[in-house]
Structure 1
Amino acid sequence: MATTKKFPEREEKDYQQILTDSVIARMEESKALNWSKPWISCSEAPFNPVTGTRYRGANFVSCLTAGFADPRFFTFNNVRELAVKTGQDIHVKKGAKGIPIFKALQVSYLDKKEGEPDEEGKLRSFVKMKYAGTVFNGAQIEGLEPWIQKVNKVQDFQEAELLSLALQERTNLIVEHSEMGRAYYTQLGHKVHMPNKDLFKSSAAYYDTLAHEFGHSTGPALGRDMTGTKGSAAYAKEELVAELTSMFVCAELGIPHDPAAHENHAAYLESWLQCLKGDKNLIFKAAGQASKSTEFQMKHLQGYKLSHGLVDQVEGQSNKLESKIILPPAKQIARPALVAV
């Protein structure tokens, strides 16, 4: 009698926990170095040069916590297609560890009381982040031209100034300055207070901090919980949303981002670590809300430009950009070698 060999079931990876652990590790590293190293450094926003996808939200965080300076990220199939298309030896380096990417799924369910007919129940839904695949950084791929980081000798903060004017005009936000060395947002009067520009070590530091406060200012319009007091989990979450928003906005506007420049950065890191260790989904929730905050601001920026004749037409907010892949003059081969990871 033939017997069927049973294989142990493969345990599915908890990718939400993997990303959360990665964020925690980066934050603890920053803390160990006396806050001198940012837990996420972002000179350029991560993107896929093959599909033109701009990674946002939790995927932005997932890509950047991997710690690469190269902003290009490819799927394994992207790499294989490049190798076949070009006839060059392009492959993922042996031993390279992939970075998880997620997609949002809308889950619906019928909310009804026990014994209540189905037709009387309410259909409710929520968004759940689901693992969608793995990407590899350009630095992990053999055969690509190394990424050359853009260096701006003179920083142009015109877009940031236009964003400030747009939010003031279109959302009635008040932006005031004084000699008081404290930056904050208050719902009372819908106001952002900033120290005078000359009190910052650089213009980049000023606009970086301003982006953080602008993140807070979108809370009431987007329905976020703004009632948390210092030391509470709600307060820590709102600060994380504002910090992620500043990262995303700075990437959109080409502003150098340095989270350690914020006056309360050390205290915030400590509170975020405590919350992240107790909730593996926090980084997803915060990143999702930060993406909405960023989109809200960019929409007003484009609307302001249109109404003032600064652009011919409003460019649609898209996750796509023009694909651009640079390949070295590599030796042609008949059949590209691929390395499975």
Structure 2
Amino acid sequence: MAKQKLDPAQEITNEIIGLLEKGTMPWRRPWKIAGGGVPLRHNRERYQGINAFLLGLRSAMMGYSSPYWMTFAQAKALNASVKKGSKSSIVVYYGTASKRSADGGDASEGEDDGKEGGGTYRFLKSYRVFHVSQIEGLDASYYPEPEGGANDRPTMDPEAQAFFDAIDIDVRYGGDRACYIPSLDQVDMPDLARFESAGGFMSTLTHELAHATKAKDRLDRSFGVSSFGNEAYAKEELVACISEALMGQRMGFHADHIDNHAAYISSWITVLKGDTRFLFTAAAHAQRAVDWLVEASEAGMKKETFDEAA
């Protein structure tokens, strides 16, 4: 009997659905991770998008503090070895390749990119990595200790405050709700003092700013006509929540925005069961949203410096 081919998208989506069905928000991490929380490859490069999200999720579930991950072969090349019985974690990558001619057959794995002529196709491949806590014999630099310090207090770090202030999106503080209003292109936020922690404030602000990136003059993101609880609404909310997780990895706070967990979780389960690839789509949109916010902040800071110099 032929071995059933692994579908990494299905496997990963099933894992997330299983956690959501237990009523958990798997990307929430209430403790610190060394290196700021962004998962890193063996060569210190950052993981992006769905892989950053997935490995951050697994770090949260397992309580890992080091940000480093590597394959069996990469560990071996560093004269280290994976501990016996260690369970690997799946990561993925998309690529493109040329389709073979009709007489030469086609690749067994891939999706048509939709272009006329069908000269190329996109494929999704997976490979396995291990966290460095599952590996023996690595240099001590792969096991950094998280920075100490008190728990978050409702006071913002000046650098974090400057980061958000430099983003050219209209944010109005005050009141008792956090939301993005598309018709006004405006984010409404409660004051910092109303939050239990600065991390909670940054998480919520990132969530709403991520929504704001969907505007036509920014990333022009739409999943259709959105109303509370429908599929388009659920998809956009999932993008914003993954954006929180990715930004939190960069800035050192954990994603902790959703109060009405049950309603959101139910709608996400419906979306993910209907489309096993949407998690990857949502993570890609979230990475673009975070990248846009980071670039907008950097541009705003440069402009402020230039104006002061002038």
TM-score per shorter chain, which class?
Answer: 0.7 to 0.9
Does the CA contact (< 8 Å) of 1:26 and 1:40 recur in 2?
no
Q: Secondary structure at the match of 1:245?
A: helix
Alignment-derived partner of residue 98 in structure 1? 88
Structure 2: stretches of 5+ with no match in the other structure? 100-114
Alignment-derived partner of residue 65 in structure 1? 57
Alignment-derived partner of residue 184 in structure 2? 189
> Which of 187, 210, 224 is the equivalent residue of 2:221?
224
Q: Secondary structure at the match of 2:16?
A: helix
The RMSD of aligned alpha carbons is 2.5
Does the CA contact (< 8 Å) of 2:244 and 2:255 recur in 1?
no
- Please give the residue correspondences for 1:156-167 in structure 2 after superposition, counting only pairs within 5 Å: 157-167=157-167
What code does the residue aligned with 1:91 have? S
Alignment-derived partner of residue 115 in structure 1? none
Does the CA contact (< 8 Å) of 1:159 and 1:253 recur in 2?
no
1:300 corresponds to 2:296: yes
User: Matched residues in 1 for 2:295 and 2:119: separation?
Assistant: 26
C-alpha spacing 1:128/1:153, structure 2 compared with 1 (3 Å)? farther
Measured after TM superposition, the shift of residue 80 of structure 1 is 0.5
What code does the residue aligned with 2:207 have? H
1:39 corresponds to 2:40: no
User: Matched residues in 1 for 2:117 and 2:208: separation?
Assistant: 36
User: Matched residues in 2 for 1:309 and 1:127: separation?
Assistant: 45
User: Matched residues in 2 for 1:60 and 1:292: separation?
Assistant: 13
User: Matched residues in 1 for 2:198 and 2:119: separation?
Assistant: 44
Worse-superposed segment, 153-162 or 215-224: 153-162
> Which of 258, 282, 291 is the equivalent residue of 2:287?
291
Structure 1: stretches of 5+ with no match in the other structure? 1-7, 84-89, 110-120, 311-341
User: Matched residues in 1 for 2:235 and 2:267: separation?
Assistant: 9
Does the CA contact (< 8 Å) of 2:210 and 2:243 recur in 1?
yes
1:134 corresponds to 2:134: no
Worse-superposed segment, 210-219 or 126-135: 126-135
Measured after TM superposition, the shift of residue 125 of structure 1 is 8.9
> How many pairs align?
272
Q: Secondary structure at the match of 1:273?
A: helix
What code does the residue aligned with 1:40 have? W
C-alpha spacing 1:306/1:21, structure 2 compared with 1 (3 Å)? same
Does the CA contact (< 8 Å) of 1:41 and 1:64 recur in 2?
no
Alignment-derived partner of residue 251 in structure 2? 253
User: Matched residues in 2 for 1:106 and 1:307: separation?
Assistant: 38
Q: Secondary structure at the match of 2:283?
A: helix
State the TM-score, normalizing by the size of structure 2. 0.79
User: Matched residues in 2 for 1:304 and 1:134: separation?
Assistant: 39
Alignment-derived partner of residue 147 in structure 2? 150
Measured after TM superposition, the shift of residue 129 of structure 1 is 5.7
Alignment-derived partner of residue 321 in structure 1? none
Measured after TM superposition, the shift of residue 153 of structure 1 is 3.4
C-alpha spacing 1:99/1:272, structure 2 compared with 1 (3 Å)? same
User: Matched residues in 2 for 1:238 and 1:304: separation?
Assistant: 26
Does the CA contact (< 8 Å) of 2:53 and 2:246 recur in 1?
no
C-alpha spacing 1:213/1:289, structure 2 compared with 1 (3 Å)? same
What code does the residue aligned with 2:233 have? Y
Measured after TM superposition, the shift of residue 207 of structure 1 is 1.2
Does the CA contact (< 8 Å) of 1:163 and 1:297 recur in 2?
no
Superimposed CA distance per residue, residues 313-335 of structure 1 (whole angstroms, 9 cap, x where no aligned partner): xxxxxxxxxxxxxxxxxxxxxxx
Does the CA contact (< 8 Å) of 2:53 and 2:245 recur in 1?
no
> Which of 233, 236, 247 is the equivalent residue of 2:234?
236
User: Matched residues in 2 for 1:10 and 1:16: separation?
Assistant: 18
Alignment-derived partner of residue 10 in structure 1? 3
Identity across aligned pairs (percent)? 27
User: Matched residues in 2 for 1:12 and 1:148: separation?
Assistant: 40
Measured after TM superposition, the shift of residue 147 of structure 1 is 4.7
User: Matched residues in 2 for 1:136 and 1:166: separation?
Assistant: 38
What code does the residue aligned with 2:174 have? S
Q: Secondary structure at the match of 2:125?
A: strand
Worse-superposed segment, 206-215 or 95-104: 95-104
Q: Secondary structure at the match of 1:39?
A: coil
1:270 corresponds to 2:244: no
Larger RCO, structure (CA 8 Å, separation 6 or more): 1
Larger radius of gyration: 1
User: Matched residues in 1 for 2:193 and 2:260: separation?
Assistant: 19
User: Matched residues in 2 for 1:102 and 1:61: separation?
Assistant: 12
Superimposed CA distance per residue, residues 206-226 of structure 1 (whole angstroms, 9 cap, x where no aligned partner): 111001101101011212116
Measured after TM superposition, the shift of residue 127 of structure 1 is 8.1
